[in-house]
A and B are shown apart, each in its own frame.
Chain A
C-alpha cells in the first residue's frame, strides 16, 4: 500500500515536471523541470529495488549532464520572444513522433498487462550492482565497448568542432603551445 502511494506521488511529480518542462517559455525553467523529472524517476527506481540505477540516474543525468545544460543556458543571452516561424515544418515531425511515442506507451501497457505477475525479489533483482556489473562485462561486453568507442568519438568530435581553426591559425596555436612548454621546462 505504501509502495503504491509512493509510486503515485513520484509518478505524479514526474508528469507535472514533464508538462512544465514542455510548456515553459524560459529554457532555464525547462531545464530545472527536467531535473525534477530525473529525480522523481530515480525515486521510482528506488521503490522498484534498483538502488544502483537510481543513484547512477541522479549522478549522471541530474548531476553532470543537466548541470552542463544549465551552464550553457546561463552563458547564452536568450531573447524571450523570438518568432519560431522559421521552424514551422518541425511541428509536423513533432506530431508524427508524438503519435509513435503514444503507440509505444500503449504497447508497454499492453505488454505489462499480459506479463506474468511476479513480485520483485530484492536479492536477485536486476537492479543490484553485482548483477549489472557481471552482465555488463560478460554477456553485454560488445555493446558496452561499442558505446564506449561512440562516446569517445563524440568527445573528440566536439573538441574538433569547438576549436575549428584554419591551417595558418592552427600553426599559430601549435607554435604558441610549444613556446609555453619551452617556458615551463
Chain B
C-alpha cells in the first residue's frame, strides 16, 4: 500500500526522466554522426576520402573522437579568470541542450490502452505526447534559451585573457545580437498565421492551412530565418568568431580537451535546434501529407512514420549546412553587419507588415 502510493506520486517524474533521457539520446547521437557526416561530405566535395579507419567506413569515429577529448591534457591558461573560464563551456552546452525539452518529436499516441500498467498507473492516461514538456510558448522558450547561450561564448572570450579569444567573443556577441532581431522578426509572420506560440500548435495549424506548409505563404520569412540561422550558429559563411586566418580559433583558442568538446557539441546541438525550428515553423514539422489515409491518426505506426519524417527533414537541413560550408567563402565583418542590419532586418519587417495586412483582410 505504502509502496503503491509512493510509486503513484513518483510515476510522472519517472516518465519525464525517461523522456528527457530518450530525447537527449536521439539528439546527441544524431549530433555525433553529424560531425562524421560533415567530414565525410566535405571530403567527398573536396575529392578526398574522409575518415575511414575506425570501424567500417569510419562509423566508430565519433566515439574515438570523444575518447580522445577525454584523455587529452586539460590546459588552463595561467592568467585566465578561473571561475568564469570554467563556467563558460557549461553555460554554452546547457543552453544548447535545454530546448530539447520542447522538441515536437511526433504526434501524440492516443490509441494505446495504458491500463495494462501495474498498480493502476495507466488509469486516466489518454494520450502519450511525444514532446517532453508541454510549454505553450515553445517558440519564445527556444529563442530565450538560445539567446542566453551567447554568454557562454562572450564569457569564454573574456575570461581566457587572450586577444584572439576576446576579439572572437566580441564578434560573436555582436553577430548573434544583430541576427537575433532578423530571426525573431521572420518568425512573427508564421506565429500570426498559426495564431499560437506552441510548436505542436503551429504544426497542427499548418495541417489545416490552405498550403499545408508555411514555407509557401512565408517564403520571405523562411529565407530570412535560414540566413539568420547560419549566423546564429556561427557557421560558414558567417563563422567570423572563429575565423582561423585572423583569430586562430576565436573564442575557444585557449580551451582544450573536454572543455573544447563542450563548445564543439554546443555548436552542433545549436545547429540541430535551428534546423528543428526551421522544420517546425516552415516545413510542417512531423506532418506527412496523406499519411492519415494510410494509418489511423494517433496509432503507433502513424507516430513512428511522422517521427522519422521529422528527423529526416532536420537531417536535410543539416546536410544543407555542410553543403554551404563546403561551397561559400567567409564574409568580411563590415559586410556581415551591413547585411544583417540594412538588408535582412528591413526585409523581415516588411514581411511582417505584409503578413499583417493579408491576415487582416483574410480574417475579415
**Measuring CB to CB, which residues of chain A are less than 8 angstroms from any residue of chain B?**
28-29, 32, 35, 39, 51-52, 54-56, 58-59, 62-64, 67-68, 70-71, 74-75, 129
Contacts and interface: CB of A to CB of B under 8 A. Distances in A.
A59 B170 contact: no
Given A58-B144, A63-B144, A70 B151 contact: yes
5 contacts: A59-B140, A62-B147, A63-B180, A64-B147, A67-B150
B140 A62 contact: no
Given A52-B137, A55-B137, A74-B170, A67 B144 contact: no
A59 B147 CA distance: 7
A56 B174 CA distance: 21
B135 A51 contact: yes
Interface in B129-188: 135-137, 140-141, 143-145, 147-148, 150-151, 154-155, 157-158, 166, 169-170, 173-174, 177, 180
Nearest to B150: A67
A129 B136 contact: yes
A62 B149 CA distance: 10
A74 to B, nearest CB: 5
What bracket does the count of chain B residues touching chain A fall in?
20 to 34
A58 B151 CA distance: 13
Contacts of A63: 143-144, 147-148, 150, 180
A67 B140 contact: no
B294 to A, nearest CB: 35
Given A71-B170, A74-B154, A58 B137 contact: no
A71 B173 contact: yes
A67 B173 contact: yes
Given A59-B144, A63-B144, A74 B151 contact: no
Interface of B: 84, 87, 135-137, 140-141, 143-145, 147-148, 150-151, 154-155, 157-158, 166, 169-170, 173-174, 177, 180, 197
Contacts of A54: 137
A58 B170 contact: no
Contact of B170 (A29, A51, A75, A129): A75
A178 B100 CA distance: 49
A75 B351 CA distance: 35
Contacts of B141: 51, 55
Given A63-B144, A67-B151, A74 B169 contact: yes
Contacts of B197: 52, 129
A58 B169 contact: no
Contacts of A55: 137, 140-141, 143-144
* Most chain A CB within a 10 A radius of its CB, from B151, B157, B174, B197: B151
A62 B148 contact: yes
Among the interface residues B84, B140, B155, B157, which one has the most CB atoms of the partner chain A within 10 A?
Answer: B140
